[in-house]
Amino acid sequence: MISIVLVGIETAGNVGSIARVMKNFGLSELVLVDPKCKPESKEAWDRAAHARDVLKKVIVTDFSYLKKYDYLIGTTAKLGTDYNIPRIPMTPAELASKLSEVDKKAKIAILFGRESSGLLNEEIQKCDFTVTIPTSKIYPTLNVSHAVAVVLYELFKEELTPNVKERYAPISGREKEVALEKVDNILNKMHFATPEKRETQKRLWKRMIGKAMLTRREAFALLGFLRKLE
Residues in the site for a copy of itself, rule: CB under 8 A?
13, 17, 20-21, 23-26, 47, 49-51, 79, 81-83, 85, 88-89, 91-94, 101, 132-143, 145-146, 149-150, 153-154, 156-157, 160-165, 167-169, 211, 213, 215-218, 221
User: Distance between CA 43 and CA 9 in Å, rounded?
Assistant: 14
Residue (32 or 150) nearer to a copy of itself, CB: 150
Residue placing its CB nearer to a copy of itself in the complex, 52 or 198: 52
- Rounded Cα–Cα distance for residues 16 and 35 (Å): 13
C-beta of 202: minimal distance to a copy of itself in Å? 21
Contacts of 13 (CB under 8 A, 6+ apart): 43, 44, 46, 47
| Minimum gap (Å) between residue 168 Cβ and a copy of itself | 5
User: In whole angstroms, what is the distance from residue 61 CA to residue 45 CA?
Assistant: 20
Q: Which is nearer to a copy of itself, 136 or 194 (CB)?
A: 136
CA angle at residue 124 from 17 to 16, to 5 degrees? 10
Q: How far is the CB of 114 from a copy of itself (least distance, A)?
A: 14
